[in-house]
């Protein structure tokens, strides 16, 4: 039988990955907001025509909105987003402690089916039968937190790609101007 402390260790590890993903989003969001404040408060910004000002503000707000969206509660309830994450990370191998692997390998329409799948994975890794209610509750949380963590990492990768594209376009625009 799998010991409770082992399940708690897995849960703690998965939770740490979620915290790390949230911290990255918070950092990038802060950068976008600082950029917005910095750009809007410059004298150069006020000399630009209104259309260019609006474009700049929209580009910055769009970048920050990706990070802001990552803080929406219950991200794991957005089926279309879970599907995109599953497609992106579906090649990840079986691992009972890595949050993205847990998400991919337990991805089901029903949380009870996901719990049973995770128990099968644990059994393949040498753990015995799991019928303890507390351990089942931890497994449920491990799956839910793994799902949210994977979604947040996926959104962060989108946010970084958007940021890089904006930086390249800005650099090219400055070179041309």
pLDDT, position 2: 64
Identify the segments of the chain with pLDDT beneath 70: 1-2, 129
Asked whether 4 and 130 are in contact (CB, 8 A), the reply is no
> Tokens 């890794």 identify what position?
125
d(CA 1, CA 149): 27
pLDDT, position 36: 95
Task: Note if the pTM is more than 0.85.
Answer: yes
pLDDT, position 129: 65
Residue 115 CA, distance from chain mean position: 21
Asked whether 120 and 126 are in contact (CB, 8 A), the reply is no
pLDDT, position 81: 93
Summarised one tens digit per residue, pLDDT across range 55-78 is: 999 999 999 999 999 998 888 888
């Amino acid at each position: 039988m799998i010991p409770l402390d082992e399940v708690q260790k897995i849960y703690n590890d998965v939770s740490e990955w979620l915290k790390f993903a949230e911290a990255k989003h918070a950092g990038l969001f802060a950068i976008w907001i600082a950029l917005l404040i910095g750009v809007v408060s410059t004298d150069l910004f006020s000399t630009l025509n209104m259309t260019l000002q609006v474009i700049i503000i929209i580009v910055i707000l769009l970048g920050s909105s990706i990070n802001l969206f990552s803080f929406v509660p219950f991200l794991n309830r957005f089926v279309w987003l879970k599907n995109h994450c599953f497609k992106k990370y579906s090649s990840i191998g079986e691992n009972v402690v890595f949050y993205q692997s847990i998400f991919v390998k337990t991805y089901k329409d029903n949380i009870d089916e996901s719990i049973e799948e995770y128990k099968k994975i644990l059994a393949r890794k040498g753990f015995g039968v799991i019928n303890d209610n507390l351990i089942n509750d931890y497994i449920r949380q491990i799956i839910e937190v793994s799902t949210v963590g994977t979604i947040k990492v996926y959104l962060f990768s989108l946010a970084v790609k958007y940021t890089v594209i904006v930086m390249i376009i800005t650099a090219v625009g400055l070179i041309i101007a």
